[in-house]
Amino acid sequence: MTADIIDGKAFAAGLRNKVAGHVARLVADHGITPGLAVVLVGDDPASDVYVRSKGRMTKAAGMLSVEHRLPADTTQDDLLALVARLNADRAIHGILVQLPLPKGIDEARVLATILPAKDVDGFHISNVGLLAVGQRAMVPCTPLGCILMLREHLGDLSGLDAVVIGRSNIVGKPMAQLLLGENCTVTLAHSRTRDLAGVVRRADIVVAAVGRPCMVTADWIKPGATVIDVGINRTDAGLVGDVDFAGVAAVAGAITPVPGGVGPMTIACLLANTVTACCRANGLPEPMGLTL
């Protein structure tokens, strides 16, 4: 058996196209341009690549893109002051503060300062809570992108066994919430899980978000399962996911590649969330319908 490759790059291009269509209508009918501000503190080269790519795609969709690059020794107070300015800026509908932040800056404090309505990452406690009780406000981009690919590939997810590996606030936990919302039976596994291979082997859907190159191997996968690889690991062999792609592709029913899978979907969902935030701020209907 050879798995279908879920083409996240193509799917993301289609989604960005829809975003661009909605943006064009917002501009033409209402004179409103959705605006996204991205804040990068320090000069991590990988973060720099993502931020550039976000800016490029934001502009390509017809939106306003504002980048704030601050030195690595920026104080917490300066960062909080910038967030406060962006909160008050009517041209900005979405704010993303790139994580991780340098040591000495209290990440939770920064995230809590972003207005929930502008929190296009969905990391503010208020959005986390709304997601947990099924009242969705802003849904984190990476898990949202994974759900869209799963729906597209499998249709209805009801009753399927889903195993998420990794319990981060950014991916694992919100991913588990969203899968629950799709009526999956969800297991949230992590580094302390006993018999991880045995747990994963029961899954119809596997989402790997641990940050360990090629950790998930073919013998962990139930034949025909759908495998979503969230890992982005830079190794001597280049960019690899958390899944041993070649091995797992021989067993799985479908798999996302790295690169070209979850990554591009994350950025497309960020643009979609920004359009949603803009529409809400202006009392307009939400065209993206992605808030689940």
Ligand X SMILES: Nc1nc(=O)c2c([nH]1)NC[C@@H]1CN(c3ccc(C(=O)N[C@@H](CCC(=O)O)C(=O)O)cc3)C=[N+]21
Report the catalytic residues.
Answer: 54, 98, 121
State the nearest-atom distance from the C-beta of 100 to ligand X, in Å.
7
Is 245 an interacting residue with respect to ligand X (CB under 6 A)?
no
Q: Give the pair of three-digit tokens for residue 138.
A: 């802003």
Alpha-carbon distance of 216 to 289, in angstroms, equals 33
Is 210 an interacting residue with respect to ligand X (CB under 6 A)?
no
- Per CB under 6 A, contacts with ligand X among 257-286 are 258-260, 263-264, 266-267
Alpha-carbon distance of 177 to 155, in angstroms, equals 18
Is 200 an interacting residue with respect to ligand X (CB under 6 A)?
no
State the nearest-atom distance from the C-beta of 47 to ligand X, in Å.
6
Is 40 an interacting residue with respect to ligand X (CB under 6 A)?
no
Nearer to ligand X, 86 or 232 (CB): 232
Question: What are the backbone dihedrals phi and psi of residue 188, each rounded to the nearest 5 degrees, phi first?
Answer: -105, 100
Number of residues binding to ligand X, judged by CB under 6 A = 18
If one counts every other C-beta atom within 10 angstroms of the C-beta of residue 63, the result is 23
State the nearest-atom distance from the C-beta of 30 to ligand X, in Å.
28
Nearer to ligand X, 141 or 279 (CB): 141
Among 239, 250, 281, 288, contact with ligand X (rule: CB under 6 A)? 239
> Is 27 in contact with 272 (CB distance < 8 Å)?
no
> Is 226 in contact with 150 (CB distance < 8 Å)?
yes
Alpha-carbon distance of 172 to 126, in angstroms, equals 18
Alpha-carbon distance of 116 to 96, in angstroms, equals 11
Helices 8-30 and 141-154, axial angle in degrees (round to 10): 110
- Per CB under 6 A, contacts with ligand X among 49-88 are 49-50, 53
Nearer to ligand X, 34 or 122 (CB): 122
State the nearest-atom distance from the C-beta of 241 to ligand X, in Å.
8
**Tokens 């990440």 -> residue:** 107
Is 203 an interacting residue with respect to ligand X (CB under 6 A)?
no
Binding residues: 166-168, 232
Nearer to ligand X, 239 or 250 (CB): 239
**Tokens 């209290």 -> residue:** 106
Binding residues for NADP(+): 166-168, 232
Radius of gyration of the chain from Cα atoms?
A: 19
**Dihedral sign, Cα of residue 80, residue 265, residue 14, residue 277:** negative
Is 98 an interacting residue with respect to ligand X (CB under 6 A)?
yes
Residues in the chain: 292
State the nearest-atom distance from the C-beta of 270 to ligand X, in Å.
7
Applying CB under 6 A, the residues found at the interface with ligand X are: 49-50, 53, 96-99, 121, 141, 232, 239, 258-260, 263-264, 266-267
